[in-house]
Structure formats: C-alpha cells, structure tokens
Structure 1
Amino acid sequence: MPVALVDPAVGTDRPAHRDANVLRWVGAYASSMAGDGVYYIALSWASVQAGSPAQAAMVMSVSALPRAVLMLGGGVVADRLGPRRVVIGSDAVRCAAVLAVAGLLFLTGPGLWPLAVLALVFGAVDAVFVPAVGALPARITGKGQLARVQGMRGLAYRFAIVVGAPLGGLGVAVGGAAAAFGLAGLLIAVSLPLLISVRVRELPRDDTGAVRTTTAWRDLLAGLRYICRHRVLAPLLLAIALGDLGFVGPLNVGLTLLADERGWGASGMGWVLSGFGAGAGAASLLLTLRGRLPHAGQVAGWTILAGALAVGALASAPTVAAAVGTALLIGLLAGLSGAMGGALLQTHADPAFLGRVTAVSSLVSLGFAPLSMPLSAAAIGAWGTGPVFVVSAAVCGLGGVVVLCVKDLRRAELPR
C-alpha cells in the first residue's frame, strides 16, 4: 500500500480553491465519481442484455447489502490505515475489477454471474471508500477551509453526474457494455496518480493514541461511544438521518409517481430533477466562493426546516414550471443544509475518529434512507401523493427542529 506523503504545510488556511493539493483531491474525486456514473450505466445495460428485467434489477441492487453491512467497519479501516491509503487502495481495486469485467465481456459476451460479482465487489469496496473520502479533507486543508471544500466537493459531484451518464451512454452506443466498462475503469484510473500526489498531514500523537486499541471491534465501539457522548455530533447525525429519511422517498419514487399523476411525462420529471440539481449546484458554488457562512448551526437548522416546507409544497405544484421552481428551491436549501452539516461534522469531529463518524453518517444516507423509497411508493398507492409528501416533509422538518433545539448544535460555528 502506498505510504502517505506528509507535508508540514498541509492544514494551513490557504484558500482551498487556490490550493493545488486540494484541487488535486477534487480532480481525483470528480474523475472517480464520473467513472462511477459510467459504471452504473454499463452495469444496467449489460444486466438487461444478459437476463430478464427482474434479474437485472437484482444485479443492480446487489451492491447495497455489502455496502450497508460493512460500512461501519470501513470507517474503522479508514481511521486505522489513514484515509488517503484507503481511498487509493479502494480506487485501485475498483479500477481493476471494472477493467477485468470489460475484458471478460469483450471476449465472452454478457453474463449475469460476472456482473453480480462485480456489483458485490463494488459494494464491499464502497464500504471503505466512502468513509475514507469523508475523512480525507481534514488531512489536506485547515479547518477554516472545510466548508469551502464541501462546496468544491459538491460541484465535483454535480459535474460527475452531468458528465458520467452521457459518457456511459456513448460508450454503450459505440462499443457496447464492454467499451462502457472500459471507459469507467479508465476514468477511475485517472484518479489514482492524482491521489498519490496528494499530501496529507499526520495526526497529533495524542489523537492517534486515543483511538488505537487492541482490536478493530474495540475501535468501532470506541467510535460509537465517542459519537454518542459528543454534544454536537450526536444530535447532528440524528438531524441528518431525519432529513435524509424525509427527503429520499419524495425526491425519488415520489417524484416519478407525481409526474405520472399530473401527466408531466418523463420530460417534465427531467426538468424538475434539473431544477433540483441546479439549486444544489448553486449552493455548492456559493460555499466554494464564500468559504464560510456565519452561524452555521442556525443556518443548517433553518434551511432544513425551509427545505421541508418546500418538499411538502412540491406535491401541490400545479404546473411543471411551478414544480421546477420549487425543486430549485429544495436543491438550494438542501445543498446549503447538507454542506453545513458536512462541514460541522468535519470541524467538530476529532480527525482520528472522522472515518467512523463519516461511516455512521453514510450508513444512514446510503443504507437506511433508501428504505423509504418502497415505503413511499406503497403509501402513495394507498393515500396519494399529497399526504405522503406532507408526512415526509414533517419527518425532514424534525431534523431542523433537533438542530434548533439542541443548544450546542444551534450555536455551533465554523472556524474562521
């Protein structure tokens, strides 16, 4: 495994958007996420070609189980080995696995078993990749720049979404699933030299020693105890969980059913999703340029509450134009609250625990929150879109109430 490059200058408050070290990390993240986008297009296409729609859906969902089961352990690995090493190693494994399946498909044609194995590998590797990505910013810049880094990361993610899907479709159109998988592997490979060149700072010895116990299990328990006893992190993670649970269902399955109910069609739904993406991108750009917002805890709480009201209002939008405007507002508010929450996690967590803190946050977003999608679909079938969107908005709004009612979190600030 590569040895981390350590630079004593890393961690200063040099503006992140002018820091070559941070820009290399952002570039690596954007390339890796774009590769992910191409990978999912290739996997879905190859699965449909190799089996029935039900089998294809099963292959597409295979990644979720190992990701959810192993996520907390992935946080321990990131903290024990260092997030930079884990990100490099996991990207290398993902790259090798995708390129291997590309070669196999080129030689033998599509098959469900190789695709299912690839999905399992991706899910298992994501369980360590995601916590490590979340723990890395605190090692490459100063605390005063972490909000700006969250904005830059959001922009990189939006860029990857915009670029990844069309590239995946182009790869499939030109050379089939094998070519698309090959393109995904190359995009992930681009991130590796950038990550290798990223310099990190070492943790203070006291921090490292505080969490280095005899077994990984004890490290995990120590991390969970640390979170539960923390006056900012514990309520913040609860607020994030409530926000995600109330947000994921309506903005995924619920929006599809709403568009069908109103007769907006696929194009109308696409415009609404574009509005949401534009709003989230604007929030990321604001943080990238500004770098810090005062009263971060209050901003997070009020934007969660306002976003919840907008989610409830979306079901009452009479036209596509009104829905797009509402979605734009939801994206802006959710982007701000999400970035504020992420920056507060980064700045208030001891860097030695950041992998485990990120793992708990990611487990909620990637493991538990998606469970609201089938529940939302079933509830809409029983009671209609309006009541379900209102209930979802209420759950989301509870997150804002938690933030504003817990004094330490409400008064939390980002470093200057």
Structure 2
Amino acid sequence: MSTTSIPLATVSDGPAHRDPNVLRWLGAYTASMVGDNVYYLALTWAAVQAGTPAQAGIVAAVSAVPRALLMLGGGVLADRFGPRKVVIGSDAVRCAAVLAVAALLFATTPGLWPLALLALVFGTVDAVFMPAVSALPARITGRGQLTRVQGMRGLAIRFANVVGAPLGGLGIALGGPAAAFGLAGLLIAVSVPLLVSLRVAVLPGDDRTATERPTAWSDLRDGLRYIRGHRVLAPLIVAIALGDLGFVGPLNVGLTLLADERGWGASGVGWVLAGFGVGAGTAALLIAVRGGLPHAGRVMAVTILAGSVAVGALAYVPNVVAAAGVAVLVGLLTGLSGALCGALLQTRTDPAYLGRVSSVSGIVSLGLAPLSMPVSAAAIGAWGTGPVFVVSAAVCGLGGVLALCVRDLRRAELPK
C-alpha cells in the first residue's frame, strides 16, 4: 500500500466526489463512525446487563472526561506529527481495545470494570483522534474542495447514525455484547488500511527531527495565540460554542422530557429525531453537491438565527406530526449552519494549525456543550419545557447575532 507524501501545492483540486484519495478517506471515516455507533450501543447494553442503570450511565460518561481534558494535547500531536499518522495510530488503538474487551466477554463475565476501562481508553484516544481526523482533509484535497468534503463528512455521519444502531442491535441479538464489540472492532479496523493508502500533503517543517521542533507547550501556546489573533476564527469558535450550548440540551434530554410531558411516547421521540435527521442529511447533501454557498458568513449567521427560532418553537407545537415537521426545519437550518461553520474553520485556518484549531472547537462541542444537558433537565423540572427551550434558543441565536456583528466573519467567503 502507498504511503506517498506530496507537496501541499500539488494536492488535487478536482471534484472531491471523484477523487480516489478523498473517497478512500471518506470510506475510512465512514467505517470508523459506523464502528463507533456500534461500540456505544454495545457499551451501554453491556453496562446495563452488568450493573444498575446508574452505573451504566457512569460507564457511558467516563469517556467524556479524558476527551475534554486531553483534546488540546491531541491537537498539538496532530500538528506536530501529521494528522494521518495520528489518525492511523489512534484508530489502531481503538480497534485493539474494543477487540480485547470482545474477547474477554466471549471468555468470561468480568463485570463493569473492563467496560469502564474501555470507556476510559476510548475517550483518551478520541482526544487524539478527533482533532487529527478534522485536520486531515486539508492535506488530501485543495482548498476549493474543503466545503464539499464537509458535506460528504456530514453525509457519512448521518449514514453512520442510521446504520450503526441496527448493526449493533443485530450483533447483540446474535451473539450478545461480545459479538457487537467484535463487529465494532472489525469496522474500525477497515479504516486503517484505507488511511495508510492515502496520499497526503507535507507542510514546511514536517520533516524536522524531534530536537529541531519547539516543545509541545510552545506549540500549544502558539496555536492559542493564532486563534486569539485571527479575525475570523476567534469569533467563529465563540459562535460555534454559543450554538452548541443552546442546541445540545433541548435536542437531547429536553426532547425526551417534552415527549413525556405531551404523551408522545418513545415512538414520538423517534419521529422527531427522524425528522431532524432528514433535515440535517438534506443540508449535508446540498453542501456536498454544490461545494459551497455564496456569502457564507451571512448565510451561516442567518441560518443560526432561523434555526434557533425553530428550536424554541419545538416546545409549542400542538402534536407529534407538527413537531416532526419543525424538526426537519431544525435539522436543515442547523445542518447548513454547522456545515458552513466547519467549512469556514477548514478554509480559514492555516493547515499547519488545523489540529490545534480543531481541538479548541472540539472542546467546545464535546466538552462544554454536553454540560448543558443536566442543566437543561434540572431547569425543565423547575420551570417546564417552554421557558427552557426559549432560553436555549436565545443562547443559540446569540451565535448568529455575533456572526452578524463581527464584520470579518459576516463578510467571510468560501473559496470557489
């Protein structure tokens, strides 16, 4: 298999959906994401079987702590050693850890401790994997195709969400959690040879020896200074943070509590989530086909604002059919704004800093935003769904207001 490195200037800027190099990356990313979905279902199911629901919740949450604490370091590693090497190494570790637990569950019934250890390892490795996988597209295709790649990535995520849970359920039905873990490990393993075969661009300084490089701490400080001084990236990351903080609570725990309050049941939640998935998938397909939109900064700001209004409206719809319709709109608007945020992040960042920039953005989305879920649940218990959805929508909308108020972000365009 080829492990070719090429100068950044020679990366193909042809249509990403026809580029074999991008398609290999997409195949690897999709296989890994499907494997992740199978893994999380298997982990939750195995934890419920081995302990109490509260203990299962703790096991499921163990991954979040190292992911949030170590992600900045993961971004530094991606930029110091190159994202392809980091992604390959982290995917190999994830695969080995999942298959080891699968083998242990086949052989015995060890209880919760190996599941908690697996969750801890998975979260730690994810802190390295996520910034690296976000930094990789800029080294395999031209700047003009990065927006289309964001759309393709969104489609891969939607596909993984739809396919992963049924595959995990089938594995559990046929062979219990051990079989599901084994299936997850094999799916993650599929990504490794595809990643090894990628042709990746090299940047100035990639060939420096360890003694020639600045320290990791210096790299981290340099990355944070780069973000703080950037006229587009700094406000963009704040806008992403506000959008995620206002969005995650209502569309996760808030939706379940809303359905319980209205008597929609689990099937109602399923219909609303399906509507959201349809809308988000449509947005990803639009970006993948068009390869971008004009006036990206303005469109991003307007879709954040409109999406926040739709999020607030969810708490006031009269029935589940209307809720599913509003969810389609939420998915479409937030999918468009999210894809544009990601595309601007990719295209406005110097590729040498993409790992560190992605890690800061990832901490916001994966570390801070989930904290809004218990807060939302407690607030709904105190004040009801309507006021909490409205306040959450207002927080989300502040991201759009910020984008409109900051001139450089409002005028930001994507490369053609």
Shift of 1:318: 0.5
Q: Name the structure 2 match of 1:155.
A: 155
C-alpha separation between the residues in 1 aligned to 2:284 and 2:174?
Answer: 34
Shift of 1:153: 0.2
C-alpha separation between the residues in 2 aligned to 1:281 and 1:110?
Answer: 40
- 8 Å CA contact retained: 1:241, 1:369: yes
Secondary structure, in 3 states, of the residue corresponding to 1:409? helix
Secondary structure, in 3 states, of the residue corresponding to 1:198? coil
C-alpha separation between the residues in 1 aligned to 2:144 and 2:193?
Answer: 27
Q: Name the structure 2 match of 1:22.
A: 22
Q: Which residue identity lines up with residue 60 of structure 1 in the other structure?
A: A
C-alpha separation between the residues in 2 aligned to 1:265 and 1:56?
Answer: 23
- 8 Å CA contact retained: 1:207, 1:350: no
Shift of 1:208: 8.6
The correspondence of residues 206-225 of structure 1 with structure 2, limited to 5 A, is: 214-225=214-225
Q: Name the structure 1 match of 2:176.
A: 176
C-alpha separation between the residues in 2 aligned to 1:40 and 1:326?
Answer: 28
C-alpha separation between the residues in 1 aligned to 2:208 and 2:351?
Answer: 9
Secondary structure, in 3 states, of the residue corresponding to 2:316? coil
Cα deviations across residues 191-220 of structure 1 (Å, max 9, x unaligned)? 1111111111111459999xx852111111
Cα deviations across residues 327-362 of structure 1 (Å, max 9, x unaligned)? 000000001000000000001111010000000000
C-alpha separation between the residues in 1 aligned to 2:32 and 2:305?
Answer: 33
Q: Name the structure 1 match of 2:4.
A: 5
Shift of 1:10: 5.1
Q: Which residue identity lines up with residue 347 of structure 2 in the other structure?
A: T
Shift of 1:155: 0.3
Q: Name the structure 2 match of 1:113.
A: 113
The correspondence of residues 183-332 of structure 1 with structure 2, limited to 5 A, is: 183-205=183-205, 214-332=214-332
C-alpha separation between the residues in 1 aligned to 2:292 and 2:3?
Answer: 29
Q: Name the structure 2 match of 1:104.
A: 104
Identity value in percent = 76
- 8 Å CA contact retained: 1:11, 1:143: no
Cα deviations across residues 247-302 of structure 1 (Å, max 9, x unaligned)? 00000011001111111111011000000011000000001111111111011100
RMSD: 1.6
Shift of 1:183: 0.4
Normalising by structure 2, we get a TM-score of 0.97
Q: Name the structure 2 match of 1:403.
A: 403
Q: Which residue identity lines up with residue 86 of structure 2 in the other structure?
A: V
Shift of 1:4: 5.0
C-alpha separation between the residues in 2 aligned to 1:244 and 1:412?
Answer: 21
Q: Name the structure 2 match of 1:95.
A: 95
Shift of 1:53: 1.5
Q: Which residue identity lines up with residue 38 of structure 1 in the other structure?
A: V
Q: 1:73 to 1:374 in 2, by over 3 A?
A: same
- 8 Å CA contact retained: 1:4, 1:84: no
C-alpha separation between the residues in 1 aligned to 2:18 and 2:394?
Answer: 40
Secondary structure, in 3 states, of the residue corresponding to 2:13? coil
- 8 Å CA contact retained: 1:158, 1:277: yes
C-alpha separation between the residues in 2 aligned to 1:197 and 1:334?
Answer: 34
C-alpha separation between the residues in 1 aligned to 2:3 and 2:388?
Answer: 49
Q: Name the structure 2 match of 1:339.
A: 339
C-alpha separation between the residues in 1 aligned to 2:45 and 2:276?
Answer: 26
Secondary structure, in 3 states, of the residue corresponding to 1:124? helix
Secondary structure, in 3 states, of the residue corresponding to 2:202? coil
C-alpha separation between the residues in 2 aligned to 1:52 and 1:282?
Answer: 39
Q: 1:146 to 1:207 in 2, by over 3 A?
A: farther
Shift of 1:188: 0.3
Q: 1:411 to 1:254 in 2, by over 3 A?
A: same
- 8 Å CA contact retained: 1:245, 1:369: yes
C-alpha separation between the residues in 2 aligned to 1:22 and 1:10?
Answer: 14
Secondary structure, in 3 states, of the residue corresponding to 2:318? coil
Q: Name the structure 1 match of 2:34.
A: 34
- 8 Å CA contact retained: 1:46, 1:110: no
C-alpha separation between the residues in 1 aligned to 2:199 and 2:334?
Answer: 31
* Unpaired runs of at least 5, structure 1: none
Q: Which residue identity lines up with residue 355 of structure 1 in the other structure?
A: G
Matched, 1:124 2:141: no
Q: Name the structure 2 match of 1:47.
A: 47
Normalising by structure 1, we get a TM-score of 0.97
Q: Name the structure 1 match of 2:60.
A: 60
- 8 Å CA contact retained: 2:13, 2:142: yes
Q: 1:264 to 1:43 in 2, by over 3 A?
A: same
Q: Name the structure 2 match of 1:364.
A: 364
C-alpha separation between the residues in 2 aligned to 1:33 and 1:220?
Answer: 28
* Unpaired runs of at least 5, structure 2: none
Shift of 1:11: 2.4
Superposed structure 1 runs of 4+ greater than 4 Å apart: 205-209
